[in-house]
Amino acid sequence: MPTPPTAGSAPRAPRPSRRSVLAAMAAAVPAAGLPVLSGRASAAPAAGALPGGGDLGPNVLVFDPATPNIQGTLDEIFKRQESAQFGEGRFALLFKPGTYCGLNAQIGFYTSIAGLGLSPGDTTFHGDVTVDAGWFNGNATQNFWRSAENLTLHPVNGTNRWAVAQAAPFRRMHIKGGLNLAPDGYGWASGGYIADSRIDGSVAPYSQQQWYTRDSSVGGWNNAVWNMVFSGVEGAPAQSFPDPPYTTLDTTPVSREKPFLYLDGADYKVFLPEKRTNARGTTWGSGTPRGESLPLGQFYVAKPGVDAATLNAALSQGLNLLLTPGIYHLDRPVEVRRPNTVVLGLGYPTLVPDNGATAMKVADVGGVRLAGFLIDAGPVNSATLLEVGPEGASADHAANPTTVQDVFIRIGGAGPGKATTSMVINSNHTLIDHTWVWRADHGDGVGWETNRADYGVRVNGDDVLATGLFVEHFNKYDVEWRGERGRTVFFQNEKAYDAPNQAAIQNGDIKGYAAYKIADGVTAHEGWGLGSYCYYNVDPTIRQDHGFQAPAKPGVKLHHLLVVSLGGKGQYEHVINSIGAPTSGTSTVPSTVVSYP
């Protein structure tokens, strides 16, 4: 994503488009000889039943303070994953409670690092967890698909560097110092997401063009480029959009933190944080977090190579799913039918429907938690990739919503892929908490028709809340919202770079499909901090009528909107409907609307 230079940053060479420079590919990598995490299995299952619990496989590595050569192991994993943007390697690095000194854990693609305590303070590094962009010449805009969770850091020089782009969550982290979100040299950067974290010092985003921070505490926030959004953040800057472009909500309307694996004595369990309303600050700052725990024995521990029939058999047996790192090829949907089912991934497990199936379907039941995995479209077109609730779902789930957290969807990039609609939310009250739904603009299998994907996210359910919604490059609507009383806190979008000409995106008498369309019949909807960018590099003469389209209804309210033409590659005529000044020239200056209507 092109980003304008920020004041005080070093001079930079012009940034090439994502399509012109590709990251190196990496093959699947065995992890033989590295530490392996095992969990205590449940009691022996009935004859013919699948067991719960058990070993987590070779690509989940567990460390304790006495583990020899931890740094060497971390360096080896990073060497394999640093530039493996579309490779097959997947790793989870887990640290038992204790204190670790002198470590610098550099985190590459498809790598997750996490502490195994119930709170971040249980696992402490006197060292760093680092993401930088040396592999891409100081450009951090492709530092996707990695995560850090549940650790306390004492950074060696007082500031930890986490220079990431999309799909790189930073959750339940305590930084006893500052946090730098830019790469070394202050090159391009395009992120990002922080939740349930405490940064004692200041956060310095520098060149980050947008960022969303939820239910956290910061010692300060130093600057903004285009769109910085905060909800429920102690110490957040005051609301001041568009200059500087801070959108600040005192609380988050509804939130429920992501499930996580932890150690209870010698036993591995999964903690399920409770739902909060009007949330502010971390869940763990005042003692033990509130929620419930499930023993590992209540999970079917899936390994790469297992088929959808086996996953469905485990679910029908009453087990939850723990997906260990790797790639899972599916010939039919994974069917989640039981209320309160947990599907939790470790180390970016990736579901690939090979034959045009939907990767996962969730029934219209309450309390399902989907977290921590990637869905990769297969070469045969899928009508949908993820469905939460069937068409016509109508049950009330306000007391116990389904959550979709750190679930990422990709069409193309790792190879040919197609999907008509990527994510469909039919169940009422669903919480979408951090997703990146991406039709690839670079990599393998990329082209206007090659990785055809018309719609990114479609919301049919009522009272759905999205916190941290990243959706990019779809052939038609990126987000289409049909349900009532929907809410979005932070939206980031780029229109498809590769539209061949104006006719290819013509939408009746409208030039281009809106990035975020609220259906004409909707009477109530609200959003805060919403941005859409265009970079029509194939045909820079393309005009986009608007980034946002909404009915003129008293209950439809949008706050802090912006559209940006990246380097003059295409232009917007308006921000929303026929409101807002057009973008122009090559200056990459946003056009903004503070409030709609």
pLDDT in tens, 481-525: 999 999 999 999 999 999 999 999 999 999 999 999 999 999 999
C-alpha 68/C-alpha 237 separation (Å) is 43
CA distances from 565 to 3, 160, 369, 436, 446 (A): 11, 32, 37, 21, 22
- The answer to whether the CB of 402 falls within 8 A of the CB of 388 is yes
Q: Which residues contact 157 (CB under 8 A, 6 or more apart)?
A: none
- 286-306 mean pLDDT: 95
CB 498 within 8 A of CB 520: no
**In this structure, are strands 571-572 and 543-544 parallel, antiparallel, or unpaired?**
parallel
394-420 pLDDT, tens digit per residue, is: 999 999 999 999 999 999 999 999 999
The helix or strand, by DSSP H or E, that contains position 72, with its residue range, turns out to be: helix 70-81
Q: Where are the beta strands (DSSP E) in 150-233?
A: 152-153, 159-161, 170-171, 174-175, 178-180, 193-195, 198-204, 210-214, 217-221, 227-231
Amino acid sitting at position 300: Y
pTM: 0.93
Q: Is the pLDDT of residue 16 over 60?
A: no
Dump pLDDT digits (tens) for 173-224. Answer: 999 999 999 999 999 999 999 999 999 999 999 999 999 999 999 999 999 9
Of the candidates 89, 284, 270, the residue with the CA atom closest to the CA atom of residue 174? 284
Distance from C-alpha of 141 to C-alpha of 134, rounded to nearest angstrom: 12
Catalytic residue among 149, 387, 472, 494: 494
Known catalytic membership, residue 494 = yes
Rounded to whole angstroms, how far apart are CA atoms 150 and 172?
5
- Report the SS3 class of residue 574: coil
In angstroms, the CA 354 to CA 417 distance is 9
Q: CA 336, CA 75: separation in Å to the nearest integer? A: 38
Chain mean pLDDT for the chain: 93
Alpha-carbon gap, residue 394 to 458, rounded angstroms: 16
